[in-house]
């Protein structure tokens, strides 16, 4: 008999419904088409993010990759003062920035946002690097441990394989209690161990409900060995229209101009293209029916041209709402959605689905931000 899947926010009846900012050359109307209209320019990507903010999405993922587009932290820093309510989920590739300075950078952005920053921990190789999986996750573990020391202690005192540090922490105190929440995705044993020990939200890519339950059970059991609980999130594309027929027709149209060789080239650009998680997306695609659906309303066609998240929820509003509620009943409390093109599909989802969902901010639910300014050197605290 399986253990119960234990989630951190089991008491919550809503979910954090988030969107995606395609700052790494990831937007188009037709997959495989390189339209000038959808470049990952500042103008396009900031417009998508601000649209999501205006329409009521609770968070938005700003990814990281060595591709043409916007670099994550400069983009997040620039757009932060322009936002009103939305949280920003900034992807951090561990090892790119010296950890104490990374802690300082993130604390700065957290103050600009008044506590609306969240962090997506990335452990893939740096551009041009070839570390083993174990080393990559060990480096991420050390970065996370240093960040947590920086944000919660009077001193960083750390000795590890990659970093040896002893520093005061006054320059790096964040706006949020204990620092921003850490979102994390990964399927290897090293990844699961790291998330179970240190992170707050375990992000999964779309799979069948049975497979998702297996991933959640594994993470829940592993977190219990550290006397911890995590929340679960799902990163998935979405196509919603007034009727199922319209939605399926639009989904098919996304691939209508795709050359398979071009799709493979685009997919292989990503730094995570050969990861275990990506291979699981490929397996799911191969198990789908001739129409690309692996279970009702879960379409795998996206994966023909995209590494990583390779499937979409497709249907009318009632079908999409029902599917999201099924995921909620399973224990998923965070959804990171996207569609092609991103601004258009953001508006469709906000019109047809979002008003019918109870949405929350996980960081607020976890008590990360108080009613008054924190006593940090950059907020209400004394100058050091």
Q: What is the pLDDT of residue 290?
A: 76
Q: What is the pLDDT of residue 264?
A: 62
Which of 57, 86, 61 lies closest to 75, judged by CA? 61
Q: What is the pLDDT of residue 288?
A: 67
User: Is residue 263 over pLDDT 60?
Assistant: no
CA distance readout (Å), 26 to 68, 154, 301, 331: 10, 41, 16, 29
Q: What is the pLDDT of residue 162?
A: 98
Of the candidate ranges 35-39, 245-249, 270-274, 355-359, the one whose mean pLDDT is the lowest:
270-274
Cα angle 93, 97, 99 (rounded to 5 degrees) comes to: 100
Length, in residues, of the chain = 384
- 77: phi then psi, degrees, rounded to nearest 5: -65, -40
DSSP 125: P
Q: What is the pLDDT of residue 166?
A: 98
Q: What is the pLDDT of residue 110?
A: 99
* Residue 58 binned pLDDT confidence (cut-offs 50, 70, 90): very high
Residue in the block written with tokens 């997306």: 281
Q: What is the pLDDT of residue 277?
A: 62
User: Is residue 2 over pLDDT 80?
Assistant: no
Average pLDDT, the chain: 93
CB neighbours of 288 closer than 8 A, spacing ≥ 6? 294, 299, 300
List, for residues 173-215, the tens digit of each pLDDT value: 999 999 999 999 999 999 999 999 999 999 999 999 999 999 9
Q: What is the pLDDT of residue 308?
A: 80
Cα angle 72, 77, 82 (rounded to 5 degrees) comes to: 120
Q: What is the pLDDT of residue 117?
A: 99
* Residue 48 binned pLDDT confidence (cut-offs 50, 70, 90): very high
* Residue 84 binned pLDDT confidence (cut-offs 50, 70, 90): very high
User: Is residue 336 over pLDDT 80?
Assistant: yes
Statement: 16-237+338-365 belongs to CATH 3.20.20.30: yes
Average pLDDT on 58-72 reads 94
List, for residues 270-326, the tens digit of each pLDDT value: 545 556 667 776 777 677 667 889 999 999 999 887 778 999 999 999 999 999 999
């Amino acid at each position: 008999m399986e253990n119960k899947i234990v989630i951190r926010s089991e008491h919550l009846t809503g979910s954090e419904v988030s969107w995606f900012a395609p700052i790494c050359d990831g937007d188009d109307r037709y997959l495989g088409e390189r339209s000038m209209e959808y470049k990952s320019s500042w103008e396009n990507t900031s417009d998508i993010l601000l649209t999501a903010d205006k329409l009521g999405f609770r968070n938005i993922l700003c990814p990281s990759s060595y591709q043409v587009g916007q670099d994550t932290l400069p983009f997040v820093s620039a757009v932060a003062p322009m936002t009103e309510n939305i949280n920003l989920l900034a992807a951090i590739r561990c090892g790119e920035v010296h950890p104490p300075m990374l802690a300082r950078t993130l604390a700065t952005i957290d103050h600009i946002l008044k506590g609306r920053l969240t962090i997506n921990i990335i452990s893939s190789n740096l551009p041009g690097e070839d570390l083993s999986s174990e080393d990559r996750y060990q480096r991420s573990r050390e970065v996370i441990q240093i960040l947590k020391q920086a944000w919660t202690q009077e001193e960083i005192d750390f000795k590890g394989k990659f970093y040896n540090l002893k520093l005061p922490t006054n320059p790096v105190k964040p706006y949020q209690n204990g620092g921003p929440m850490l979102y994390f995705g990964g399927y290897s044993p090293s990844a699961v161990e790291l998330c179970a020990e240190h992170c707050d939200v375990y992000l999964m890519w779309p799979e069948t409900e049975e497979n998702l339950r297996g991933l959640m059970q594994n993470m829940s059991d592993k977190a219990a060995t550290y006397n911890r609980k995590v929340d679960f999130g799902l990163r998935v594309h979405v196509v919603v229209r007034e009727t199922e027929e319209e939605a399926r027709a639009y989904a098919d149209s996304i691939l209508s101009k795709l050359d398979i060789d071009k799709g493979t080239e685009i997919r292989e650009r990503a730094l995570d293209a050969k990861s275990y998680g990506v291979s699981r997306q490929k397996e799911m695609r191969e198990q789908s029916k001739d129409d690309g659906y692996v279970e009702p309303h879960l379409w795998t066609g996206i994966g023909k041209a995209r590494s990583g998240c390779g499937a979409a929820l497709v249907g009318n509003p009632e079908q999409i709402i029902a599917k999201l509620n099924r995921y909620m009943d399973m224990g998923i409390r965070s959804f990171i959605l996207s569609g092609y093109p991103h601004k258009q599909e953001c508006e469709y989802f906000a019109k047809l689905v979002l008003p019918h969902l109870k949405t929350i901010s996980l960081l607020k639910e976890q008590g990360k931000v108080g009613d008054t300014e924190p006593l940090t050197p950059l907020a209400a605290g004394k100058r050091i």
